[in-house]
Amino acid sequence: MQTALKREAKKAIDKLSNEKIKVAIDFIDYLKEKEEMEASLEILSSRELMAQIEEAEKAVKKGKLDEFIPWKKVKRNV
């Protein structure tokens, strides 16, 4: 369904003047920033996640890199 929504949005953009396209881009940028901010606030408001982040930062500072999963392994499973 997301693909259908994107196609619909692209069709709508194709019908706009350049001036309106600039406004649409500004609005899309605003929505992206808002979504990123909401995700950040969600993480910051989670005590559990913040504790895990702090624990990971301490492990990095102590050089305990073996406690982490290598990125190559993670990105294959994403």
**Domain housing 26:** 1-45
Q: For residue 70, what pLDDT is reported?
A: 86
The count of structural domains within the chain is 2
Do 77 and 66 lie in one domain? The reply is yes
Q: How far apart are CA 16 and CA 1, in angstroms?
A: 23
Q: Let me know whether 78 and 56 are in one domain.
A: yes
Query: Residues 40, 54: one domain?
Result: no
Same domain, 26 and 55: no
Residues 38 and 53 in one domain: no
**Looking at residue 63, what is its pLDDT?**
93
Are 2 and 25 in a shared domain? yes
How much is the pLDDT for 77? 62
Residue with tokens 């392994």: 73
pLDDT band at 1 (very low <50, low <70, confident <90, very high): low
DSSP-assigned states of every residue in the chain: -HHHHHHHHHHHHHTS-HHHHHHHHHHHHHHHHHHHHHHHHHHHT-HHHHHHHHHHHHHHHTT-GGGS--HHHHHHT-
Looking at the structure, tell me whether residues 12 and 36 fall in a common domain: yes
- pLDDT tens digits along 19-62: 999 999 999 999 999 999 999 999 999 999 999 999 999 999 99
